[in-house]
């Protein structure tokens, strides 16, 4: 089969090779891949900077949209089903294998590219907002990096759960994307966003979902109202912020970590339960993963560079069987 491998740890420009290799033989559900998702961790993997460090060479790609070729008896999907699947590695290939609990029937409303955009970002969004952030209907959520993959997913899930959303973005294109994804208000990361957020929310937001970190962290704490929660999701801004805990005491606020993969990995029932909740939001029309940029499999390096240069809008996807 045709696949992309990471063959050296030299960054997006030079780390990848298009190869012809045997199909994977691991146990699980075998999926003929039509589209594969591209995410921040794959950029880090090309530099050897991600926590998961398989021996070289390896096929990256954590999630795919495709058609089941083979499934064990009793599996929730069968040959011929359209699915979204989370395979952790191996997705940038014509055929991939995923564990049963990470394969979901793809609702008719979504195409293969949207299937490849569904699991990592939307499960993270649901986990961050609900499991970790304890979102209640009617609360106001401020979302950093709101035009990116996690950001757009968080906006859509939050809207679907009855929250009001404020998006923080850095450009006009990203403002358009955030509005398309359901932001009620959009503020600019290089403007007085903290004061705007306080004003828009009548004194302080209930939750900040933060995949960016860096130097905006302290202002995120200041943007919270009483009982507010800052949910830490990632550090695209580069630096890992530190918390002066007197701020938490003085303002009665919390900082909550949300590491989706580590939390759910050994909890298949929880993964299924979150999948069912996301299906409901797809059915109600709230969840429609926006695909910003798409490339043929052969151009995977270009796809990585979109993310690496802060240019991603919604999800970046590779077309594997166009």
Ligand X SMILES: NC(=O)c1ccc[n+]([C@@H]2O[C@H](COP(=O)([O-])OP(=O)(O)OC[C@H]3O[C@@H](n4cnc5c(N)ncnc54)[C@H](OP(=O)(O)O)[C@@H]3O)[C@@H](O)[C@H]2O)c1
Binding positions for ligand X, rule: CB under 6 A? 39-41, 120, 124, 145, 147-151, 169-170, 174, 189, 211-212, 233-238, 258-261, 307, 310, 312
- Among residues 201 and 236, whose Cβ is nearest to ligand X? 236
What is the distance between the alpha carbons of residues 68 and 83, in angstroms, rounded to a whole number?
7
Which 8-state DSSP code applies to residue 4? E
Q: Is 103 helix (H, G, I), strand (E, B) or coil?
A: strand
Write down the least CB distance from residue 169 to ligand X, Å. Answer: 4
Least distance CB 300 / ligand X (angstroms): 15
Give residue number: closest CB to ligand X.
148
DSSP assignment string, 250-261: HHT-EEEE--HH
Q: Which is nearer to ligand X, 140 or 154 (CB)?
A: 154
Closer to ligand X by Cβ: residue 177 or 253: 177
CB of 322 to ligand X, least distance (A): 23
* Secondary-structure breakdown of the chain: helix, strand, coil percentages, each rounded to the nearest 5: 35, 25, 40
The least distance separating ligand X from the CB of residue 312, rounded to whole angstroms, comes to 4
Contacts (Cβ under 8 Å, ≥6 apart) of 39? 62, 63, 120, 121, 149, 307, 316
208 membership: H or E segment, kind and range? strand 205-210
The DSSP secondary-structure symbol of 6 reads E
Residue given tokens 């695209």 in the structure block: 236
- Name the residue nearer to ligand X (CB basis): 112 or 122: 122
Nearer to ligand X by Cβ, of 174 and 288: the residue is 174
- In the complex, least distance from residue 92 CB atom to ligand X, rounded to whole angstroms: 16
């Amino acid at each position: 089969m045709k696949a992309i491998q990471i063959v050296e740890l030299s960054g997006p420009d030079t780390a990848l090779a298009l190869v012809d290799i045997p199909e994977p033989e691991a146990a699980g559900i075998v999926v003929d891949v039509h589209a594969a998702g591209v995410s921040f961790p794959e950029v880090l993997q090309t530099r050897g900077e991600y926590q998961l460090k398989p021996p070289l060479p390896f096929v990256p790609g954590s999630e795919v949209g495709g058609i089941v070729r083979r499934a064990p008896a009793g599996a929730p999907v069968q040959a011929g089903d359209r699915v979204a699947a989370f395979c952790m590695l191996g997705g940038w290939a014509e055929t991939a294998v995923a564990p049963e609990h990470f394969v979901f029937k793809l609702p008719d409303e979504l195409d293969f590219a949207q299937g490849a955009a569904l699991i990592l970002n939307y499960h993270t969004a649901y986990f961050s907002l609900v499991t970790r952030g304890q979102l209640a209907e009617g609360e106001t959520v401020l979302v950093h990096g709101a035009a990116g993959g996690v950001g757009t997913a968080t906006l859509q899930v939050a809207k679907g759960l009855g929250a009001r959303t404020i998006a923080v973005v850095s450009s006009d294109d990203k403002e358009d994307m955030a509005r398309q994804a359901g932001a009620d208000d959009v503020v600019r990361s290089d403007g007085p966003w903290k004061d705007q957020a306080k004003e828009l929310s009548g004194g302080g937001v209930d939750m900040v979902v933060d995949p960016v970190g860096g130097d905006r962290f302290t202002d995120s704490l200041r943007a919270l109202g009483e009982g507010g929660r800052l949910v830490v999701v990632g550090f695209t801004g580069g630096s890992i912020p530190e918390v002066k805990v007197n701020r938490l005491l003085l303002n009665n606020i919390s900082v909550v970590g949300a590491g989706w993969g580590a939390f759910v990995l050994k909890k298949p029932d929880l993964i299924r339960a979150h999948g069912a909740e996301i299906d409901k939001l797809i059915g109600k029309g709230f969840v429609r993963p926006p695909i910003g940029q798409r490339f043929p499999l052969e151009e995977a390096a270009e796809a990585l560079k979109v993310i690496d240069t802060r240019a991603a809008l919604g999800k970046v996807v590779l077309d594997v069987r166009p």
